[in-house]
Amino acid sequence: MNVFTKFETELAVRPDDIDLYQHVHSTRYLDYVLAARFDQMERCYGMPIQEFARSGLGWYLTATTVQFRRPLGLGDRMIVRTWIDSFTATGCRVQFEIDRLDTRKRSCDGQCDYVLVTLATGRATEIPDEVRAKYSI
C-alpha cells in the first residue's frame, strides 16, 4: 500500500462565501479544496494544472463526499490539507481535511475522485508514467 505526502495550503473565508445563515455555504468547501489543489500541484508536485492543459489533458471530478463537522465563518482562516489516497489506470482519489486555523478543529473532510481526460474528446486517458511519478511523493 502506497502512502502519499499530505500537503497544506492556508486560505481565508471571503465575504462572498457566506450564506444566509452567516456561515460558509456548503459548496464553497469544494472551492477551497480546488484552490488548495491548484496551489499544491504547482508548489509541491512541480506540475501545475496549466502544464496538463498545455499537454491537452485535464482532470474531471467524477465523485465527491464531504462530511461537515463545524462551520467556518466570516474572517476565519483555514488549513486545507490534501493528499492522493490512490491511483487507478485513469484517475485518482484525493482525500482532504479543512481545519480552522486558530482552533485547529476540523471543519470538514472528505474525498474527491478524479479522472484524467483528453480535453479534445473529454474521454478518460491513462495517466502517463511521468505524471504518476511526480504525484507519487
Cα–Cα distance for residue pair 130/91, rounded to 1 Å: 14
**Residue type (1 letter), 116:** L
pLDDT digit string, tens, across residues 46-56: 999 999 999 99
Domain-embedded: residue 118: yes
Residue 27 has pLDDT above 70, yes or no: yes
Q: How many domains does the chain have?
A: 1
Contact 107, 97 (CB under 8 A): no
C-alpha cell at 56: 491537452
For residue 133, pLDDT over 70 is answered with yes
Q: What is the pTM of this model?
A: 0.95
Give dist(CA 89, CA 77) in Å, integer.
Answer: 36
Mean pLDDT over the full length of the chain:
97
DSSP 75: T
- Residue 1's pLDDT is 62
Give the phi and the psi of residue 117 in degrees, each rounded to 5: -125, 155
Would you say residue 128 lies in a domain?
yes
- Binned at pLDDT 50, 70 and 90, residue 4 comes out as very high
Query: Which residues is 7 bridged to in the sheet?
Result: 82
Residue 2 lies in a domain: no
| Mean of pLDDT values over 23-39 | 98
Residue of 35, 43, 39 lying closest to 13 (CA atoms):
35
What element of type H or E holds 17? none
Q: What confidence tier does 85 reach under pLDDT thresholds 50, 70, 90?
A: very high
C-alpha cell at 124: 478518460
CATH code of the domain in which 57 resides? 3.10.129.10
Unique residue bearing C-alpha cell 491513462: 126
Q: Domain range holding 74? A: 7-134
The per-residue pLDDT for 2 is 76
* 57-80 per-position pLDDT tens digit: 999 999 999 999 999 999 999 999
C-alpha cell at 114: 478524479
Q: Cell numbers 465575504 label which residue?
A: 15
State the pLDDT at residue 3: 82
Question: Which residues is 77 bridged to in the sheet?
Answer: 12
